[in-house]
Structures are given as structure tokens and as C-alpha cells.
């Protein structure tokens, strides 16, 4: 193994099924290096969200292994899983903001849960929200915002702790291309401080505008990496 590149997540032969139904993910091999950025693309129902959930410790694999930050997750206690989960940022496809809290409190929540002192937590969240163009909206409820604005709040909450692994599930689906580009810039900045990013999308336009390695999933299986072009004879 190349020890010069830290690996934040590795799946080997991983499968996932919900209840007793058939596998929705089969035989998935995947490595996410620290500081890397990869797209995960595939049609609706292909298993993108399920794969992110598996990486985000929402489910245990029904076969194979999931190793996060060097720990095999099968062997972890509940407390150890919770601790590991705090190193993961997740942008949910359905956002999951808390309407009873202000935009600022939503974004600052992970820092508060991590025990960061209040002024520091809100100061950091405020800066991030301002950078995302939401500086005037920090005191309102997310229910007052457009879907695009809500998506930015969900992104702010996911990155506010500088996670080691960021799992972004269709994070630009409500954003126009300019705002999507701004969010992509934020993700690039995170990779510079070591975050491994996996971004699920079905937007060909996003991938075309932001060249990066692409993992393709169909019917719960990752396609083998595209072979390099054959050398000219
Ligand atoms: N909670 C669940 N219970 C049962 N089946 C599910 C659940 N979530 C997703 N599925 C099924 O798993 C498959 C993959 O879904 P999903 O991971 O959401 O795909 P994608 O994100 O690519 O659209 C689909 O067939 C879907 O119906
Ligand atoms: Mg999905």
C-alpha cells in the first residue's frame, strides 16, 4: 500500500440491502484518498444515495468491508461509530434542515455538538454563510429561503467542521450554474486541507464544467475505471 497518500475510505466487495430485499449495491470496490475529489454519476435508482449512506455509516454492509479512517466499521462500538461519524460531512439529497432553528444555528450545529464554544461556532458559521452569499439571511428560518438557498445552508452545515470525508448527494440540484460553481470552489478548497470528497450527481452539465475523476454506477454496481486510451502503434 502506498503510505504517502492517506486513505479516508475504502470499500472492498461491499454490498448493501434494505431489509430482506435483494442487494441494491453489489461487489463495490472504492477508495477515497485524502484530498481527492470524485464524482459519482448514474441514473436514478442506480444506488448513488445508498452508496453514500453506506460510506456515511447509516447502514452496515451486508457483505464485504467498509474501512473509514483506517478503522473497519464492522468492529466498532456504537460510541466509536458516533465518533467516526463526526468526521464525516453529509449533504442530504432532501437537505434535512431544522426549520425551528435559524439559518445560522443550522450551520453552526455540528460545531456546537462537537463542543466548540458558542462565539467561535457562530463566528465560523457566519463567515461561511457570508461567503456563500447568505450573509443577510442568517437570522431567518430556512423555511423562508428558496430551495437553492436552503441547499447552500445544508452545504455550510456539512463542511463547517472541516470533515475528513464529505459525502454530497446531488448538492447542486437547486442551484444555477454560477452558484454551483461557487459551491464547487468550496469543495476544492476543502480538498486542499485534506478532505476526501465524493459528489453524487446526475447532472452531465456539472461534470462537463468541472473536470474531475468520475465513478459510474448502474444497477448497484460500479463500472470498472475507464481504460486509458490505447497507445498509437
Ligand atoms: N430505504 C430504502 N428501503 C428500500 N429500498 C430502498 C431504500 N432506499 C433506496 N432503495 C432502493 O435502492 C435502489 C437504489 O436507490 P438510491 O440509492 O436512492 O439510488 P439513486 O440515489 O442513484 O437514485 C432503488 O431501487 C431504491 O428503490
Ligand atoms: Mg439519490
Distance between Cα 192 and ligand 1 center (Å):
32
pLDDT exceeds cutoff 90 at 116? yes
Whether ligand 1 lies within 6 angstroms of the CB of 24 is answered as: yes
Distance 47 CA to ligand 1 centre (A): 6
- Taking 60 as the threshold, does the pLDDT of residue 67 lie above it? yes
Residue to mutate, 14, 20, 24, ligand 1, most ligand atoms under 8 Å from C-beta: 24
> Quick one: average pLDDT of 84-111?
97
Please name the residue whose Cα sits nearest to atom 2 of ligand 1.
18
Kindly give the distance from the C-alpha atom of residue 156 to the centroid of ligand 2, in angstroms, as a whole number. Answer: 20
Q: What confidence tens digit (pLDDT) does each residue in 130-182 have? A: 999 999 999 999 999 999 999 999 999 999 999 999 999 999 999 999 999 99
134 close to ligand 1 (CB < 6 Angstrom): no
Ligand 1 center–CA 44 separation, angstroms: 9
Dist. CA 221–CA 47, nearest whole Å: 8
Q: Rg of the Cα trace of the chain?
A: 18
Buried b vs exposed e over 112-151: b needs ≥16 C-beta within 10 Å?
Answer: beeebeeeebbebbbebbeebebeebbeebbeebeeebbb
Q: Looking at ligand 1, which atom is closest to the CA of residue 43?
A: 22
- Locus of grid cell 462537537: 114
Any atom of ligand 1 within 6 Å of the Cβ of 49:
yes
∠ CA 141-49-81, rounded to 5°:
80
Contact 166, 187 (CB under 8 A): yes
Residue range 10-48, pLDDT digits in tens: 999 999 999 989 999 999 999 999 999 999 999 999 999
pLDDT at 231 over 70: no
Per-residue pLDDT band at 232 (split at 50, 70, 90):
low
Q: From the CA of 19, how far away is ligand 1's center (Å)?
A: 12
Whole-prediction pTM = 0.94
> What domains appear along the chain, each with residue ranges and CATH number?
1-87+196-224 (3.40.50.300)
Amino acid at each position: 500500500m502506498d503510505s504517502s497518500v492517506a486513505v479516508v475510505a475504502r470499500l472492498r466487495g461491499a454490498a448493501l440491502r434494505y431489509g430482506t430485499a435483494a442487494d441494491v449495491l453489489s461487489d463495490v470496490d472504492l477508495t477515497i484518498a485524502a484530498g481527492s475529489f470524485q464524482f459519482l454519476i448514474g441514473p436514478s435508482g442506480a444506488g448513488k444515495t445508498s452508496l453514500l449512506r453506506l460510506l456515511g455509516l447509516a447502514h452496515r454492509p451486508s457483505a464485504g468491508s467498509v474501512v473509514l479512517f483506517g478503522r473497519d466499521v464492522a468492529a466498532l462500538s456504537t460510541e466509536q461509530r458516533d465518533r467516526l461519524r463526526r468526521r464525516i460531512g453529509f449533504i442530504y439529497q432532501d437537505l434535512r434542515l431544522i426549520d425551528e432553528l435559524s439559518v445560522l444555528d443550522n450551520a453552526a450545529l455540528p460545531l456546537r455538538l462537537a463542543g466548540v464554544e458558542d462565539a467561535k461556532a457562530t463566528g465560523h458559521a457566519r463567515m461561511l454563510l457570508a461567503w456563500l452569499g447568505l450573509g443577510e439571511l442568517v437570522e431567518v428560518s430556512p423555511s423562508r429561503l428558496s430551495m437553492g438557498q436552503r441547499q447552500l445552508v445544508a452545504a455550510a452545515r456539512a463542511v463547517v467542521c472541516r470533515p475528513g470525508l464529505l459525502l454530497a448527494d446531488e448538492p447542486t440540484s437547486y442551484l444555477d450554474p454560477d452558484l454551483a460553481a461557487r459551491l464547487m470552489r468550496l469543495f476544492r478548497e476543502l480538498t486542499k486541507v485534506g478532505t476526501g470528497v465524493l459528489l453524487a450527481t446526475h447532472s452531465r452539465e456539472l461534470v462537463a464544467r468541472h473536470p474531475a475523476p468520475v465513478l459510474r454506477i448502474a444497477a448497484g454496481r460500479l463500472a470498472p475505471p475507464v481504460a486509458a486510451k490505447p497507445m498509437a502503434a
